[in-house]
Structure 1
Amino acid sequence: MGSPSSTRQRLRSRPRGDRGSVTTETVGYTVIFLLALTVIVQAAVWSLADQSARHAAKEALQAARVYGATAESGYSEAAEVLAETNPAGIDDIQITVERGPVTTTVTITGTANRVVPVPGLTVPIEVQVQAPTEDVPPVR
């Protein structure tokens, strides 16, 4: 068995090729973790914006398709619901309501807000709902 001083000397003479590797790995894993977190948050923002657009489109469809309604009533309903449910979640919103004699169609398009402003990256939202137009007054 060797003396404690010879053990220390052997430990000191080892090659130090992997010095600092823990620090480098930690930095790498932190970057990957933050990137994954950003993607998850962006997906959540898109999902909330998409759900808001779907809800607004369905409400607008119901407002526009009933007997005596107009496309403008559907448009105003969609704008109101979007303002209430997701006031800043969708950019470049375009609402289209077409009330025909057979079907009524509501289309809402836009882009979800970006968590990190990456040039050229847009997260599109497009919702279209359609239902028969009511052409007779409701029975009372």
Structure 2
Amino acid sequence: MTAFPRRPPRGDRGAASTQLVLVVPALLLMALLVVQFALTWHARHIAQYAAQRALAAARTEDGTAADGRAQARRSLAALGSRVLTSPSVTVERTAAQTTARVNGVVIRVFPVPGLVLHASGTASGPTEKITTPTGGQP
């Protein structure tokens, strides 16, 4: 009688491929979400920087709200034209207070329907005016 070698059971055959098919898409999705939220964080910093630059230009004694808007647009063009899309710049200047706001939409890495992330930055400060000291000579 001839003895044939016994084959191992086939219960685990293909298990590694199945696990790979299930795990890799989940890991890729997590990596894309991390990148998306990192871009959102970066876009917020860009918006804040543009708002601060707009405030610095608009709050000077000879500055205007239009000067602030122009400076914010230059800053956005230099830094965030791809990351922060559809930016809107608002500068309000009164005799006492100047406020600059920059809002925009963050670029999407993963095309999820309905996922629209916004980034904004606000800067506010007193409007500068030159005053003369009152009182006597020092």
Name the TM tier (shorter chain). 0.7 to 0.9
- 2:77 counterpart of 1:106: no
SS at match of 1:130: strand
Equivalent residue number for residue 78 of structure 1? 72
Equivalent residue number for residue 29 of structure 1? 23
1:3-27 deviations in Å (ceiling 9; x for gaps): xx66x31xx263x233211111111
- 2:114 counterpart of 1:120: yes
Equivalent residue number for residue 135 of structure 1? 129
The 2-side partners of 1:69 and 1:137 are apart by 16
The 1-side partners of 2:83 and 2:16 are apart by 40
Deviation at residue 104 of structure 1 after TM alignment: 0.5
Misfit runs of 4+, over 6 Å: none
Unpaired segments ≥5 residues, structure 2: 133-138
CA RMSD of the aligned region, Å? 2.0
1:45-68 deviations in Å (ceiling 9; x for gaps): 212222111111101100000111
Equivalent residue number for residue 19 of structure 1? 13
1:53-94 deviations in Å (ceiling 9; x for gaps): 111110110000011110000000000000001122112211
Change (3 A) 1:134 1:26: same
Work out the number of aligned pairs and report it: 131
Equivalent residue number for residue 44 of structure 1? 38
1:67–1:137 CA contact under 8 A, matched in 2:
no
The 2-side partners of 1:107 and 1:89 are apart by 17
The 2-side partners of 1:13 and 1:65 are apart by 80
Unpaired segments ≥5 residues, structure 1: none
TM-score (norm 1): 0.85
Deviation at residue 44 of structure 1 after TM alignment: 2.2
Structure number with higher helix proportion: 1
SS at match of 1:68: coil
